[in-house]
Amino acid sequence: MKVTKNRYLAGFGLIVMILALVRCVFPSVAEEKNVMSMSAACDSNKVKAEKEPEIVSLPAPISRFFDKEGNVVKHRIMSVPRYSDAFPDSNSVQLECANRHGVSPVDNRADAEHRKSELVYIASNPFYHVDPLKQSIPYLVPRAAVLLNDIGRAYFDSLQIKGVPLHKVIVTSVLRTREDIKKLRNHNGNATENSCHLYGTTFDICYNRYITVQEPGGPERRAVRNDTLKWILSEVLRDMRQQKRCYVKYEVKQGCFHITVR
């Protein structure tokens, strides 16, 4: 017998009515099915839980300042073997970088005032101290200013992990004008006419003086030998140089590290 559309719909409706009548007469049929479904779902979740891998918590990384027992770790002061060997970068080497990253030489202070779009002002801050400048002005190109700030921060970090009271490094020379170079050469024959300081890429940090960081109203910090502070500073500068962030020349007569950003 051919099943027409009307017969199909009539049969489907009849089956639905029969199922509805069975559910009304025997409601427990639907309840048992739901219970079985819930039980099966619980069993399924249980199996999944058993198959999930156990989460293992990893030990926290050991701090550079504290060991796993919480005791303060003091790192040894190593310094560098020889300052002249560790920091051999001559003026000619630094001058190449100065020409690449610096501004054109500044004639005088009036000229420097018109270069503020190329230079940034630096001053004493929590990480370093700027000496009163007599033969230079406190300006650097941005990348050199960032380097100087990073040296000050890294120096603090090194002092801390070595258990040495905090001291600021002292900046003694920054950007020099042509006028400054001319005056400097009048009483310092070693001063070069084409100095890296002309380009705003170079600064000097002295190694025989430091500023002790004191707590306001707190006890006076214990004295630290300048040699100890110099050793730690040399480690910081060696690391910066090895990271190819700067060139460094150890200046014996001037008592400073001559640093040019790379």
Q: Which contacts qualify for 241-249: CB closer than 8 Å, 24 or more apart?
A: 241/86, 241/87, 241/89, 245/147, 245/150, 246/147, 247/89, 247/93, 247/94, 247/97, 248/86, 248/87, 248/89, 249/87, 249/88, 249/89, 249/90, 249/91, 249/94
pLDDT tens digits, one per residue of 46-100: 545 455 555 454 455 455 556 677 776 778 999 999 999 999 999 999 999 999 9
**Tokens describing residue 45:** 């979740």
Mean pLDDT of the chain: 84
| Rounded average pLDDT over 136-141 | 96
Helix (H, G, I), strand (E, B) or coil at 210: coil
Nearest to 169, CA basis, from 155, 150, 158: 155
CA distance 234 to 153: 14
CA distance 148 to 107: 24
Q: What percent of the chain is predicted at pLDDT more than 90? A: 59
Nearest to 106, CA basis, from 196, 204, 189: 196
- Give the pLDDT score at 33: 47
DSSP E strand boundaries for 14-162: 120-121, 128-130, 139-140
CA distance 230 to 75: 16
b/e 35-46 (16+ beta carbons within 10 angstroms → b): eeeeeeeeeeee
Which of 1-10, 20-29, 56-65, 138-147 is least confident?
56-65
Position 235 pLDDT exceeds 60: yes
pTM of this prediction?
Answer: 0.71
- Give the pLDDT score at 19: 74
Fold type of domain 83-261: Muramoyl-pentapeptide Carboxypeptidase; domain 2 (3.30.1380)
